[in-house]
Amino acid sequence: MRAVTESPIEYHVEPASPDEISWIAQLEAAMYSPADAVPQAVLEDWYHASPEGFSILKRGEERVGHLDILAPRPKVMHDFLNGDILEREIRGSDLYTSAEREVIQDLYIESVAIALPAARSNAGALKVLLTSFPGLIRRICDPEKVGSLYAIAATESGDRFLRHLGLKTIRNDRPRRDGHSVFVGRWSEIAARTKNHREVGELS
């Protein structure tokens, strides 16, 4: 009698629904320090302004991670990148809305978090996130008009993920209030990197 092997459960990315923002807030609280985790009220404010930037990573029907991408207006982006304001001090009114997608040129990766059991490899989850990036950007704006992606890394695994995407740290002339380094990468180069991606390492 031939043994039947089960098909592996596949990862996929879905748009986040309004009732999943509380789950995202809980995941951030578990993954980041109290100073870096964004309060649920702030996440809800962002989601109300630009829901297209919020995505949930699932393994089958199980939520195992999330990815939040914001499109701050130029003045707020400048102040945040300079370290003058904290991430949680960005308001929904500081973000471009869905109706303004055609004018968006720069994006900020607010959070990438994957929560899998310690014994389980996250390589498959990471690969799905990487290959999903072009589609996630397309949900927010016109990819042809995007110049740069910015981010900060609040964890070592986040640092590795951003470097895997091809982002590099930029120099700040003075210390940032959050104490983190800023990463930046050209979207055209990141898109090519995700398209040609073949192998991934561990995120954590």
pLDDT, position 141: 96
Among positive and negative, which fits the CA dihedral 196, 105, 139, 23?
A: positive
Confidence label for 202 from pLDDT (cuts 50, 70 and 90): very low
pLDDT tens-digit series, residues 48-92: 999 999 999 999 999 999 999 999 999 999 999 988 999 999 999
pLDDT, position 120: 63
pLDDT, position 7: 41
| Dihedral (Cα; 178, 184, 187, 192), 10-degree rounding | -120
Given a cut of 60, is residue 201 above it in pLDDT? no
Q: Are 108 and 102 in contact (CB under 8 A)?
A: no
- Using CA atoms, how far apart are residues 119 and 130, in angstroms rounded to an integer? 22
pLDDT tens-digit series, residues 161-188: 888 888 999 887 778 888 888 999 999 9
Q: Edge-to-edge strands of the sheet including 148-152?
A: 11-15, 54-59, 62-70, 106-114, 148-152, 182-186, 168-170
Which DSSP state fits 72?
B
CATH 3.40.630.30 for domain 11-195, yes or no, is: yes
Residue that is written with structure tokens 């110049």 in the block: 147
- Average pLDDT over all residues of the chain: 87
Given a cut of 60, is residue 199 above it in pLDDT? no
Domain ranges of the chain: 11-195
- Using CA atoms, how far apart are residues 124 and 127, in angstroms rounded to an integer? 5
Give the pLDDT mean for 85-111. 96
